[in-house]
Amino acid sequence: MKARMTLSLEQVTADYITKQAAAAGGNVSAWVERHFREQALRESVASYVEWDAANPGYAETAAEEAETAAREAGLA
């Protein structure tokens, strides 16, 4: 679902966004949405990498538990 927003920006910022949108071949709304969705994805990946580093061995343990459960259920 789309949401409508009104922003108050410095003219130089508005000009920059407009220029970036034009260079990308789209409109301002599409550029802003894509830009911030990509930023959110980068932040999500960085958060996962940080969590993974803080939880060494988690993936291996989970895989071992899944294999054990499959064997016990007669699926492996």
Residue among 23, 56, 21 at smallest CA distance from 36:
21
> What pLDDT is recorded for position 76?
79
Q: For each of the chain's 76 residues, which pLDDT tens digit applies? A: 999 999 999 999 999 999 999 999 999 999 999 999 999 999 999 999 999 999 999 999 999 999 999 999 999 7
